[in-house]
Amino acid sequence: MKVVIDTNSLLSLVRYYLPFDKNSTLFNFFKSKIEEGEIIIIDKVYEQCTYNAKGLVITKLNFLSDKAFLKSAKLPYKTEMLLAPSPAKFLRMMENQFVVAVQRKKLTEVEFDNQKEAHLNDADIKQIILCLHLINGEEDVILVTEETTDSNDNKLFKKIPAMCKELNIKTMTLPELIEQYKEIEFSFDSVY
């Protein structure tokens, strides 16, 4: 199984899970899965992690700032030259299925093209395109995101889970992913 993980999931990991990870069980588990290439962090997500929440993800997952670790784990995964497996079909989907019609009507053709081009280079789309490539290579792939299909905050394009549903890419949240790994055993210290 290959897991492509988004910025907000990594942020949730370091904010809400690692503070309770007293024995570094979860920390070490994620480190090993990233090192083995089972959990993939793309370049756009890595870049977001360097500045979102003042670089908290890179600080707390300190192995992500270790050049030797990054080199051995082949991180971050380069997506600059990554194109959708069927580029013309994917572009049509961007223009039709992935767009929020109400927001689209507010834009001129030039404005829409500019926003579409920017979105094609965004972390969300690059993660989806990587998933499509992995699926074409007959990998079992999951895109981990904290986004829901509900409300898109008046954005032009739908959220990750909605696009993935159209493309038959499995998605799950961080808690659902952690639940998949039966080898992780948690123990919490009593606060009382």
Cα 87-85-78 angle, rounded to 5 deg? 100
pLDDT of residue 185: 76
pLDDT of residue 31: 97
Q: pLDDT tens track of the chain, all 192 residues? A: 999 999 999 999 999 999 999 889 999 999 999 999 999 999 999 999 999 999 999 999 999 999 999 999 999 999 999 999 999 999 999 999 999 999 999 999 999 999 999 999 999 999 999 999 999 999 999 999 999 877 667 889 999 999 999 999 999 999 999 999 988 876 665 555
- CA 17 to the chain's CA centroid: 18
Strands (E), the chain: 2-5, 39-40, 141-144, 170-172
- C-beta of residue 46 within 8 angstroms of C-beta of residue 64: yes
Question: The pTM is what?
Answer: 0.93
Name the 3-class secondary structure at 38: coil
pLDDT of residue 151: 65
pLDDT of residue 115: 94
Q: Which two tokens stand for residue 13?
A: 């990991």
- The single-letter DSSP state of residue 36 is T
Nearest to 103 by CA among 153, 159, 49: 153
Neighbours of 63 (CB within 10 A): 17
Name the 3-class secondary structure at 76: coil
